[in-house]
Copies of this chain bind each other. A is one copy, B any other.
Amino acid sequence: MAKKYLRLGAILSGVGTTQNAWRHPDLPGDASVNIDWYRENARKAEAAKFDLVFIVDSPYITPDTAPHFLNRLEPLTLLSAVAGATSKIGLVATLTTSYNEPYNVARQFGSLDLISNGRAGWNVVTTGLEGAAGNYGREEHIDHEVRYARALEHVKVVQGLWDSYEDDAFPRDKERGVFLDKSKLHALNHKGEFFSVTGPLNISRSRQGQPVIFQAGDSDTGRDLAAKVAEGIYTNQENFEEAKAFYDDIKQRTAAAGRNPDHILIFPGLVPVIADTDEEAQAIADAEFGKLDLKKALVQLGRPFNYHDFSQYDLDAPFPDVGNLGSNGYRGSADRIKRIAAAEKLTLRETAWRFAARPSPFVGSPLTIANEIERWYKGGAVDGFNFRISSPTNFDAFVNKVLPILRERGVVRSEYDGETLRANLGLPVPANRYSEAEEASRETALA
């Protein structure tokens, strides 16, 4: 087995997922709709031996939505375009199970997987913004628990469709006129609680077998979904203790679901503030924070609560009781904000600053940051990090100053182990379910 390294994803989020990131002087204002920006950054990440690039997503906007989400390329078309500019780095796109047909999802990710020669991954989400329903002809957003039950069935259907063709299904014998061995083509004939899909899918598997499944929901239900089907998790963690608790919880749930906990990799987001000295870095972090205006901080705070308008409350009173709000949206994030605001007795103003500004636990000199990353990794709080490219300068500093320290210590890799996403991540290639069944029945026959 290949040596185990800290895994690295690069979140390509154009002008950035926060309200203010786009104002960085080095970031092109059109980055989120500029395919050249994506190609260039994916190539940089590949040169630095990142395992994957990662595209976040959401199918709903309001005029107050953060700039990146307002106007952006769609993840599947985007990564198909990036595929040709790269050759080894993984390509992970976020797509919701709530508003896409499993047959179409299976086809598009299967196609990306062939186009990239085995580098595709699907970050499964259920959509946290209730307004999305209106873009898909629904009066109401699907209920949180139902969304996750649907998501599980959706993923299973998609994985079933991906196995439609066994790997040796195509003799393509021009002489005899045999293109397909029909015995190697399998209809799914799925009839479940939420989906009925006959199949077969009209696309064969790539050399990594199937795209890698990621998951990003933080609620209890979200974690259970991950334990059942995810091979990677994208999460946000504020400090080592929180990250460690999350990590242990996920690995435990995965084992309880009967899976190998090494086959689910946990990637907290990483947005380091890097400068020559710790003091300089802290000053930069403080200055960034200072640029955020309260109005936008309140909008950002409202997002997990279905864009609830927090400007209606007294800013200096305790964080308001919003009841059940957020439980059908980004429940994990909403619950976390409620919990911390209560535990730390924060006012609304303090809560807005605290969560909207997303203070990074990684602020300091390259050495400080490398040490902290190593501490989280060796301390069993992460399998990797999903580094968010917030500016070209910050990306360069991370690649040229932080990674070399970690490389020297053997924490991150110097060369790719292979050319597929599964090879990068040390994940097994899933056997085709039908080939497996056939082999098993052959073994039984021989026994």
Q: Which residues of A contact B (CB under 8 A)?
A: 15, 20, 22-23, 25, 29-30, 33, 35, 39, 58-61, 63, 65, 67, 69-74, 76-78, 80-81, 83-85, 99-101, 103-104, 107-108, 110-112, 114-115, 131, 134-137, 165, 170, 172, 174, 177, 179-180, 182, 185, 195-200, 202-204, 293
Contact = CB atoms under 8 A, between A and B. Distances in A.
Contact of A71 (B20, B69, B165): B165
A384 B104 CA distance: 32
B135 A174 contact: no
Contact of A81 (B61, B80, B165, B199): B80
Nearest to A96: B104
Q: How many chain copies does the complex carry?
A: 2
Task: Count chain B CB atoms within 10 A of each CB in A60, A174, A202, A203 and give the residue with the most.
Answer: A202
A67 B103 contact: no
11 contacts: A59-B103, A61-B200, A61-B202, A69-B202, A71-B203, A76-B77, A78-B80, A80-B81, A103-B135, A103-B136, A136-B197
Nearest to A35: B115
Contacts of A202: 58-61, 65, 69-72
Nearest to A131: B198
A265 to B, nearest CB: 25
Contacts of A83: 35, 81
Contacts of A199: 135
A87 to B, nearest CB: 12
B195 A137 contact: yes
A137 B200 CA distance: 14
B114 A35 contact: yes
Given A131-B198, A198-B134, A198-B135, A63 B203 contact: no
Given A23-B177, A136-B101, A204 B81 contact: no
A39 B185 contact: no
Given A29-B170, A78-B115, A103-B136, 9 more contacts: A15-B179, A22-B172, A22-B179, A30-B172, A59-B104, A61-B202, A71-B165, A71-B203, A131-B198
Nearest to A199: B135
Given A29-B170, A101-B136, A180-B67, A203 B59 contact: no
A124 B402 CA distance: 50
B111 A185 contact: no
A143 B104 CA distance: 21
Nearest to A64: B182
B134 A74 contact: no
